[in-house]
Each structure stands twice: as C-alpha cells, then as structure tokens.
Chain A
Amino acid sequence: EAGVAQSPRYKIIEKRQSVAFWCNPISGHATLYWYQQILGQGPKLLIQFQNNGVVDDSQLPKDRFSAERLKGVDSTLKIQPAKLEDSAVYLCASSSAVEQFFGPGTRLTVL
C-alpha cells in the first residue's frame, strides 16, 4: 500500500513570495490533514478535510494561507505572501478511521 506522498520535500523562498505544497493521501482515505511543525514544537493542525469539505480550519491564518481538496483526493496548501515565521515543516496526513498516516513533510525556509 502506497503511503502519503508530498512534494516538494524542500523549498526555500524569500519573504513576500508565494509557495504551494501538494499532498496525495492514501487511496480511499476520506480525511486529510495539513499540519505546521515549527522547529522544537509539536505539529499544529492547520486544516482538516472530510472528503472535499472543510471540517476544521480554526488555526489556519486565512489572510495568507489557503487550501483546497478538489474531488476529495489530493490537496494543495498555499501561502501568499510568505513571512519569516512561516519557516516550518508542513506535514500532510490522511486517515480512514482513527489512525493518521503521515507523509514525509515539506521543509519550508523563508529568507
């Protein structure tokens, strides 16, 4: 069974630029999550999808972050414009029930 795929693995941008991350969940998993993990901290949920609907986006900075999950399968997370404090690892996870399966993450560095 293929795992959760994410790309790119690494991204370096300058502040005020835009960036997008892609996630392909495990086939058949209805729930998809995006987390932000800042160095030295635990993952923080940004947004949770159930199929292609948003279940929780209470911690998503909506003035600069956006996410979509078209057709209830893969998803993209966008930051526009990026700030220095957005430097972090962005993790995607999917689940069909209780257990979450995580992708390898995208490490974003904002200079």
Chain B
Amino acid sequence: AQSVTQLDSQVPVFEEAPVELRCNYSSSVSVYLFWYVQYPNQGLQLLLKYLSGSTLVKGINGFEAEFNKSQTSFHLRKPSVHISDTAEYFCAVRDSGGYQKVTFGTGTKLQVIP
C-alpha cells in the first residue's frame, strides 16, 4: 500500500516571494512521483514528474521539485510566484512497474497575494 501526505492545506504567499509546498509519501517499493496543478473548474495538469535519475526535477511554469529518498519527500518549489500560480496543487505517487494505480494527496491551495 502507498500513501501521500500534504501537510499544508493552504499556503498564502506574497507575489514574487518564494514558495515550497510539502509532500511526503510512503511505499514499500520503488515509486514514481508527480505534482499536478488544478485551476478552478478544470482538470489536473502535470507540472513535473520523477521517474529516475537526477533527484532535482524541473517542470513547467518555473516549478521544480527534489526527490529525497531518505526522507521520503518530494517538495515542490518556485523561487518567485505570480498571481497566475494561484491554484490547487496535488502530489501523487505510483509504484513503478505494472499497471499500478496512482494515489493522490489531499492537495494544497496556493494563494498568491498581490
């Protein structure tokens, strides 16, 4: 069984400030990790993914995340946020190999304050 924990349900941050959205996971096997963004009344859009290799992953819209196996974390960061980044962000995990289902966290609402 696998699980994902997003401890922060809401994160307010001023425009142009840096932000970190935290994600911790648990799994007994190797995993793939994902961050998705969801704008109001829309589906989920993939921001970035970690499959293997370099632990620092760069995604769209200036976001990046670092895979830390020892701490079982995959925190999302952006050095300078914009108003347009206001959305809900979901961390997800999938066991590598086979037709394994994806487990999502409960989401973090990022509110960028002008």
Binding site for B on A (CB under 8 A): 4, 31, 33, 40-45, 48, 50, 55-56, 91, 93, 98-105, 107
Contacts and interface: CB of A to CB of B under 8 A. Distances in A.
A42 B90 contact: yes
B106 A41 contact: yes
A55 B98 CA distance: 10
A97 B98 CA distance: 10
Interface residues of B, number: 22
Contacts of B44: 43, 91, 93, 100, 102
B105 A42 contact: yes
Contact of B104 (A40, A42, A107): A42
Interface stretch (B12-20, B45-53, B65-73, B75-83): B45-53
Interface of B: 4, 32, 36, 41-46, 49, 51, 90, 92, 94, 99, 101-107
Main secondary structure of the interface of A (DSSP, over half): strand
Contact of A91 (B43, B92, B99, B107): B43
B54 to A, nearest CB: 17
B8 to A, nearest CB: 14
Please report whether the interface of chain B is mostly helix, strand, loop or mixed according to DSSP: strand
Given A4-B43, A56-B101, A98-B51, 14 more contacts: A31-B99, A42-B4, A42-B90, A42-B107, A43-B90, A44-B104, A45-B102, A50-B99, A55-B99, A98-B32, A100-B102, A102-B36, A102-B45, A105-B42
A33 B46 CA distance: 16
Contacts of B94: 98
B43 A105 contact: yes
B87 to A, nearest CB: 14
